[in-house]
Amino acid sequence: MLIYFLDMFGTAVFAISGVLLAGRLRMDPFGIVVLASVTAIGGGTIRDMALGATPVFWITDTNYLWAIFITCLVAIVAIRKPRQMPWYFLPVADAIGLAVFVAIGVEKALRFGATPMVAVIMGVMTGCGGGVIRDVLAREIPMVLRTEVYATACILGGIVHTTALQLNADVNVATLAGIATTLTIRLAAIRWHLSLPTLAPRN
């Protein structure tokens, strides 16, 4: 139940990031819902389609859709009546959602017989896929392709998760270890503005 609750929390937070971007681009309500939806469930949808896990998760559990719609309504009202919010609230909430999404992606892939390497890729896809779709629709360079430590945190969290399972750790322990790794690295990147080196020609 805790993982499910955090999954819903992550869905709402990712939806908010879609709403904020749509608002910045002055989209209409339909555009806002579309951008919020692809951000929140896009990665998991691609994962389920790649694994052959059909119908995809949000078709069998419509709570995800309700979470997105309610989040859109609340976010639209909040944007029109702005209140002072700490700068770190959304990045930290996003980091929590990201860590949980990665763990869920890894676990689902392993349940469908994927190898550890594929499971890590599915975890990264679950965590980052929606944001990639969002940024492409908004004509922006996806964050995972920039220098910010985002996908890297997902990869390392997935590796810890799968490695713990291969060492015969309990499933819950392995899942929490993966979540803690992704979350710690992402929070460290936010706190100290960590980034990867860029490939740029020397002058």
Every domain of the chain and the residues it spans: 2-192
- On whether the pTM is more than 0.85, the answer is yes
How far apart are the C-alpha atoms of 76 and 91, rounded to whole Å?
Answer: 19
Contact 100, 7 (CB under 8 A): yes
- pLDDT of the residue at 88: 86
- pLDDT of the residue at 178: 98
State the 10-residue block means of pLDDT for the chain, 203 residues long. 91 94 92 96 98 96 97 87 76 95 98 98 98 94 84 97 97 97 97 82 64
Residues in the chain: 203
Buried/exposed 87-112: b ≥16 CB within 10 Å, e otherwise: eeeebbbbbbbbbbbbbbbbbbbbeb
- pLDDT of the residue at 77: 85
How far apart are the C-alpha atoms of 153 and 160, rounded to whole Å?
Answer: 11
Take residue 59 and report the two structure tokens written for it: 């078709």
Torsion angle of the four alpha carbons 96, 98, 135, 27, in this order, in degrees rounded to the nearest 10: -50
Q: If 0-12 CB within 10 Å is exposed, 13-18 middle and 19+ buried, where does residue 28 land?
A: exposed
- pLDDT of the residue at 200: 65
- pLDDT of the residue at 186: 96
Phi/psi at 65 (nearest 5 deg)? -65, -45
Q: What is the 3-state secondary structure (H, E, C) of 14-40?
A: HHHHHHHHHHHCCCCHHHHHHHHHHHH
